[in-house]
Structure 1
Amino acid sequence: MLVFLIHIRDPQFYAVPADGRAKNGNLRIMGFPPIGIMSLSAVLKRAGHECVMFDQANLETPNQVIIEQIRIRRPQLVGLSFLSTTSYPYAKILARQIRAVDSKVKVAVGGAFATLNAQLVKMQCSEVDFVCRGDGEQLILDLLEQLDNPAAVAGLTWTRDGQVVTNPDRAIERNLDQWPFPDRESLALDFIESMPLDVPAVLSMDRFTTMQASRGCPQHCVFCDIPSFNQGKWRSRSHQHVLAEFKHLKEQGYGAVYFVDDHFLLQPKRIEAICNGLIDSGPTIHWGCEGRVDSVAAHLYPLMAKANCRTVMFGIESGSQKVLDRIEKDQTLKEVETAVTNAKRAGIEIVHGFFVVGSPGETVADLRATFDFAARLPLDTFNFNRLCVYRGTPLWNEYIRRNLVDEDRDWFKFFKCSEIDSSCLPGEVINRERSAGFRRIFRYKLLHYPLQTIRLLRRFTRFMPIRDVVHLILKPFLGQRSGPTAAETLSRTVEHAELKDSAAALTQVSDAMFERALAELQAARALVRPGS
């Protein structure tokens, strides 16, 4: 059968075209590859099906091109893959466009948001035939075998005789080694590794991709839906299978890999085996990962550095123990300090810290303590995002009990906590303190970590104009009068706090208004499409 797989992205966070094309002719962009549809494509092709992939980050295949290909080629199944609440409106609009051009094609959606809201999605979006819950590899194979009568397909939500049917859950698959490596070569895009900063800070121009060595996280932070999606389970591939994929990627010319595991730093013996295998194989790909500061694998940082681990990202969240306890992070400030310090001492080139601001119960003193804590840590990079709440998280359930959100009316929406929770600081206070906090961090880093800062900036100057690097240093001290640089303007599609804030509002407008705005955005994007 012919299957189309489409990766839905929020246009605010589209990857940015990066310095022309790769040697193979592919458009090069910054951002993360759509590993979900790439994995499904490999599974489908191994089973003998034909698969065509599209990524909405590709300016050369806008929606109208995708729709026209569906009209011409008439696939039996079109799968829409997306992760978040903010991508759901775009998936709904595309599903309607697909249905308008082909009334017979089956349309399926999958991903974390669809899994956690399957019945509600099916009820709201009639153009979607199937909502796929959980892991998709075996599910999509079973669905193609029983496309006209999917009653026996576990993990599927669909409609029969006008009634929504929820088939039994699919058993959690622990044997992840059975699946082929993702189909990275069939998508006409090359990806470039960049940092999650407020500028498009490229780490290298090497061919970049992502890898998933495990799924799930056993922790239960109040703002995270990962435990719900994975039923609280953590599963991993064997170190042999991971090493085989590294070899495969090296043969394909990749130079940088980032693990998208929710918590890579589990099972020390497995991590040790991966690192030793990479060292034994000789010069290998640079790689990065993220994990918790209380990881039992912290003693392996030196080995990871020796195995070409360049980047480690920690979810630090706050510099106030009171706030950490409130969001049930289950870590201490001492553990944060120890993890960051040890990672740097081990030779990890870039240690990044994720922080949230605007948590329930957070005071101005807590917020200032967070920025001061971040300044003192030997972090190379960092970002501070407003805490938001969405369905599937423990915080959402708390807000239901407190009558701050309505389960029936708000299930598909995305709220900044500070807008609906009176125990949070007002938004204007958060923004003011965040601006002041950035100035203190930059000042402290330049005075107390000059060599570390110079090394990082030197890396950035390899791929950014020097004037933008200088502006990066001076911007916090210049106020609003200076305006953004060209690089900062582009970076808003990569990582920008203001756009992340506004993403919440986009989930709360009517579909008609949203569709009009999207049409205007697509028209504007067409003006900058390569070759136009």
Structure 2
Amino acid sequence: MKVLLIGPIEVTDKMYFAPPLGIHRMGSFLRRQGIETRVVDPAIEPIPDSEDFDIIGYSVLGTSVDRSIEHARGIKRRKGQKIVFGGYEATFNYEYIIDQAHADAVVLGEGEYPLLHMAQHAEHGPYPGIVNARDGRILDMTPAEALSVDQFRRVTLDLEYDQIPFPAYWEKNETKIGADFKAVETRVIRLYLKNRCAFKCNFCSSANFYKAACGGKQPRVTTIEPARVAKLISQLVATFPDVRTFFFQDDEIFTPNEYIMDLCREIMKRPELAHIKYFCQGRIDQIPADLLPLLKESGFTKLILGIENFSANILRELSPMKARKMEKYSERISSILSHGIVPFLNIILTSPGATLEDVL
């Protein structure tokens, strides 16, 4: 059994290139189960001839789904060869993909165990997290089961980072952005420390991902322990000595506050990490004043923050909790800047209920 996992097929002139960690995590998991698996990112390498693979899997985003469908439709399938789609867009839009790509299956939610099941069973019936199809028609759909705490931690920590060509991405970004761009901005390794955000913002695909995959259910929020994260960072610095920054790309890392504080302390215990910088993202209303000095001391230089909007009307529509706290936004931004940390603000410009006054 041979599996090919293909990252999002996006436009080649996008601003920033980074490896698709989701399919690398699945590839690492499958290889540990004895399944020969190759992971390909079309952004940095050509897609190989599909004839040699038994399962061809596409990870798709909203911006890439149609290109992946086009590629899948161009494959001349041999008998027994399966076309599978997965990822965010596939979970929310599996009917469209099955209709357009004539895929044999769509994976809902986390893909490790559904893919393993398909690799181990040439003929399979209903299974959690799999939409089976034939000739553009759905045969059956079984809601996914989210990874348990132990499963999430195992597949996350077992990711074979040394198999990911990070230097190729750094070189591509530095060529694209310019040689004078700071290495701290380009020589970055992204990490995910949580399975999901604890909040339930109605506009957020991340908040609704598990609900869409698992039939409306939400798993408990699961994290990688701070000490293990710091150890992993040290290992990655040893493996990739040119790395300058780690980006914790979880949607919300500041909750609970004890978690990020413990992570900062664990990082500072390791002298080999003294030169490393960190980016993260989260909610501005979840940053207590006593966290900022700790973030600064441990090497955090940028916080990507979900402001969403400065209009109370739009905020009430998007996230009522944020609307109640918006009067403190300016004060919090000033406090972040005073600690020498750069805040990047994510703004949603408008909403279905917005008025012209809200936008202006």
In structure 1, give the amino acid aligned to 2:123.
Answer: N
In structure 2, give the amino acid aligned to 1:260.
Answer: Q
Cross-structure match for 2:3? 3
- Cα pair 1:151 1:167 within 8 Å, conserved: no
Whole-angstrom distance in 2 between the partners of 1:351 and 1:229 = 27
In structure 1, give the amino acid aligned to 2:303.
Answer: V
1:121 aligns with 2:97: yes
Q: Deviations over 1:482-502 (max 9, x none)?
A: xxxxxxxxxxxxxxxxxxxxx
Q: How far 1:242 moved relative to its partner?
A: 1.6
In structure 1, give the amino acid aligned to 2:255.
Answer: L
Identity %: 23
2:127 to 147, 150, 153: 153
Count residues with an aligned counterpart: 338
Whole-angstrom distance in 2 between the partners of 1:114 and 1:250 = 34
> Which runs of structure 1 show a deviation greater than 6 angstroms over 4 or more consecutive aligned residues?
none
1:314 aligns with 2:292: no
Q: Deviations over 1:96-116 (max 9, x none)?
A: 123x25454212111111112
Whole-angstrom distance in 2 between the partners of 1:92 and 1:122 = 9
Q: For residues 187 and 276 of structure 1, do their structure 2 counterparts lie closer, same or farther at Cα, with a shift above 3 Å needed?
A: closer
Whole-angstrom distance in 2 between the partners of 1:193 and 1:202 = 12
Q: How far 1:341 moved relative to its partner?
A: 2.2
Whole-angstrom distance in 1 between the partners of 2:100 and 2:239 = 43
Cross-structure match for 2:329? 336
Q: TM-score, normalised by structure 1?
A: 0.58
1:355 aligns with 2:347: yes
1:86 aligns with 2:63: yes
Q: Deviations over 1:204-250 (max 9, x none)?
A: 26632210001222333342222221234433222233222212211
Whole-angstrom distance in 1 between the partners of 2:260 and 2:154 = 20
RMSD over equivalenced CA pairs, Å: 2.7
- Cα pair 1:239 1:273 within 8 Å, conserved: yes
Structure 2: unaligned runs, 5 residues or longer: 212-217
In structure 2, give the amino acid aligned to 1:107.
Answer: I
1:243 aligns with 2:230: yes
The answer to which structure, 1 or 2, has the higher relative contact order (CA under 8 A, 6+ apart) is 1
Structure 1: unaligned runs, 5 residues or longer: 16-29, 369-532
In structure 1, give the amino acid aligned to 2:11.
Answer: P
Cross-structure match for 1:36? 22
Q: How far 1:130 moved relative to its partner?
A: 1.3
1:211 to 191, 194, 198: 191
In structure 1, give the amino acid aligned to 2:70.
Answer: I
Mapping 1:75-224, distance limit 5 Å: 75-83=53-61, 85-98=62-75, 100=76, 102=78, 104-126=80-102, 128-146=103-121, 148-151=122-125, 153-159=127-133, 163-175=138-150, 176-179=152-155, 180-188=157-165, 190-192=168-170, 202-204=181-183, 207-224=187-204
Q: How far 1:347 moved relative to its partner?
A: 3.1
Whole-angstrom distance in 1 between the partners of 2:226 and 2:318 = 33
In structure 1, give the amino acid aligned to 2:142.
Answer: N
Q: How far 1:290 moved relative to its partner?
A: 0.5
Mapping 1:484-499, distance limit 5 Å: none
- Cα pair 1:80 1:109 within 8 Å, conserved: yes
- Cα pair 1:181 1:245 within 8 Å, conserved: no
Q: How far 1:263 moved relative to its partner?
A: 0.9
- Cα pair 2:29 2:112 within 8 Å, conserved: yes
Whole-angstrom distance in 2 between the partners of 1:177 and 1:361 = 40
Q: For residues 367 and 152 of structure 1, do their structure 2 counterparts lie closer, same or farther at Cα, with a shift above 3 Å needed?
A: closer
1:45 to 20, 23, 31: 31
Mapping 1:316-465, distance limit 5 Å: 316-328=307-319, 330-331=321-322, 332-348=325-341, 350-368=342-360
Q: How far 1:307 moved relative to its partner?
A: 1.1
Q: How far 1:297 moved relative to its partner?
A: 5.0
2:291 to 291, 300, 308: 300
Name which one, 1 or 2, has greater alpha-carbon Rg.
1
Q: 3-state SS of the aligned residue for 1:310?
A: strand
Q: For residues 194 and 144 of structure 1, do their structure 2 counterparts lie closer, same or farther at Cα, with a shift above 3 Å needed?
A: closer
